[in-house]
Structure formats: structure tokens, C-alpha cells
Amino acid sequence: MSKPRRVTPARIGLYAFLLSAALFFLMPLYIMLVTSFKAMDEIRLGKIFALPVHATFEPWVTAWTAACTGVSCQGIRGGFWNSVSIVIPSTVLPILIGALNGYALSFWRPRGSAVLFAVLMMGAFIPVQVMIYPLVRILASVGLFSSLPGIVAVHIVFSMPVMTLLFRNYYLSIPQELFKAARIDGGGFWRIFVQLMLPMSTPIIIVAAIMQVTGVWNDYILGLVFAGRDNLPMTVQLNNVINTTTGERLYNVNMAATILTSLVPLAIYFFSGRWFVRGIAAGAVKG
């Protein structure tokens, strides 16, 4: 029989800290959620912590279909599909390129690979704002500025250091003997990568996908600068909804729009968190 745990001051302090931290982060979400189901007459009473007396879904419908983003009042559904169009290629392509880079740097190690990896890692420490203007000029010169391919290319550029680091460290945890055996069996660069390394990379691919989807979906500054008016992501449209100054400020609609924008990252966190931990434990921080 296991020995019962004693209640010590340290344990009480630990649980008190965890409870306080949970309340600190959950309280804004609670206020947003209850406010989004209230009518404006109820919101004006100032009882932000109170549950809605007469719950209504009208703010959610308005946020999705009729909220004003400046002079346009078509809701944020257009921004949702724009974000989906940006996220899918901005996740798949960086993962494939990062896996290829990590594979080459881990097993083939061409001449100058160490220098190339060091230069690539330096890019992870350069602030995004420093690189915006040069990228604007480069994309404008090739006709990709303010376009869907342009914003996808920008996300690929900024994701390369992290994606390469993840896959390189993961592949370094794989025994070299496995790679050498594949070489003896006649495997070449692409055959080993496609038939051996990629099938073994499921844990780190899941980690990379979670990081990339969350990062691209939550991005604001790159989408604002590079996406163009027809491809503005959901975060930019949310900012336009909340900062629209014409007419009455509809706090319930603003809260509903904010929660709708954050649903994808929240869903990824709740449903894929355990996969993220497994991927990290499987070698994402090894090497």
C-alpha cells in the first residue's frame, strides 16, 4: 500500500501558485466568453464577471458575417479563409524544406555545412522588423508583394532556422549505423530521405506542424505588410473590427470575433498538446 502524502507548507504553496497562475490566465478568457453572449444593454450594467441573464448567439453571428472591418461589413469569415490559405502552404513547405535541410546537415554533411548552419541560426536572432523593408523591396522587384505567394514565401524564410534546427537535432538522435546500412544497400540521397527518414520523423513533424500552424495563424505584422488587401489574415481583420471607430462600439461582437480568431490555436493546444510533448521527448531537443 502506498504511503499517503503529507500536506506540507511547500505543497500548499505550490498548489496555491498553480491555482493563482491558472486564474490569472483563464480570467480574461472567461470575461471574453461571458461578454460575447450578452446583449449590449446587459453589458452597460458593468457586471463583467456576471453570467449572461439572457444568453444570445447574435454577437457571434454578427462577428462572423456582418462585423465591420473599416468600411466593409462582411464579418471576419473572409479573414478566416485567408488565414487557412496562408497557413496550409506556410506549414507544409517549411516542414519539407526543414526536414531536407536537417537530413542533409545530419547525415551527408557537405563541405561548409557547419558554417551554413551557423549562418542559418543567426537568422533566428534577427528581429522581424529589421528584415521587413528589404523583403518588401525584394518581393516588389519580382512581382510577389501583396500576394498570397508573397506572404507564404515570407513565412518560409522566417521559419527556416527553427525548422532546420528541429529536424537536425532529431536526426542527430538517430544512430548513424542505420544510415550507413541504407547506404550499403544502395540507397541514395532522395531514396533514404523519402523511404527511411520521413517515415521515422512523425513525432518531430507533429511538433513542427503545431509550432508552424500556431505561429502563422497568430501572425499579425507579416500578414499586414505582405498579404495584400485581398489576402488579409484573420488577425488583421480582427484588429480592424475592434478598432473601427464609426458607430457604437459593440463589445459583445468584439469579444466573439476575438474568440473566433483564437479558436484554431486553442483547438491545437487542447487536442495536440500531448503529441507536442511526445515529439519533444522523442528527440526535438537532443543533439
Mean pLDDT of 49-64: 91
The per-residue pLDDT for 36 is 93
The per-residue pLDDT for 4 is 55
* Residue 30 and residue 160 in one domain: no
Range of the domain at 245: 77-284
* Residue 31 and residue 134 in one domain: no
Q: Which residues pair with 120 in a beta bridge?
A: none
% of the chain with per-residue pLDDT over 90 = 49
* Residue 108 and residue 40 in one domain: no
Residue 229 belongs to a domain with what CATH number?
A: 1.10.3720.10
* Residue 38 and residue 83 in one domain: no
Domain assignment present for residue 7? The answer is: no
Tens of pLDDT, residue by residue over 184-207, are: 888 889 999 999 999 998 888 988
Domain assignment present for residue 181? The answer is: yes
Instruction: Judge whether residue 94 has pLDDT over 80.
Output: yes
Instruction: Judge whether residue 219 has pLDDT over 50.
Output: yes
Instruction: Judge whether residue 61 has pLDDT over 90.
Output: yes
* Residue 111 and residue 245 in one domain: yes
Domain assignment present for residue 103? The answer is: yes
Q: What domain count does the chain have?
A: 2
Least confident of 2-6, 45-49, 238-242: 2-6
Least confident of 18-22, 44-48, 146-150, 159-163: 44-48
Least confident of 184-193, 200-209, 256-265, 275-284: 275-284
* Residue 49 and residue 167 in one domain: no
* Residue 150 and residue 48 in one domain: no
Tens of pLDDT, residue by residue over 95-151, are: 999 999 999 998 988 888 888 888 888 888 888 888 999 999 999 999 999 999 999
Domain assignment present for residue 127? The answer is: yes
The per-residue pLDDT for 279 is 65
Domain assignment present for residue 189? The answer is: yes
* Residue 28 and residue 119 in one domain: no
Mean pLDDT of 41-63: 90
Domain assignment present for residue 9? The answer is: no
Determine contact, residues 169/279, Cβ cutoff 8 Å: no
* Residue 135 and residue 251 in one domain: yes
* Residue 86 and residue 216 in one domain: yes
- CA gap 196, 178 in Å, rounded: 9
* Residue 92 and residue 196 in one domain: yes
Instruction: Judge whether residue 277 has pLDDT over 90.
Output: no
* Residue 173 and residue 105 in one domain: yes
What confidence tier does 266 reach under pLDDT thresholds 50, 70, 90? confident
- CA gap 285, 269 in Å, rounded: 20
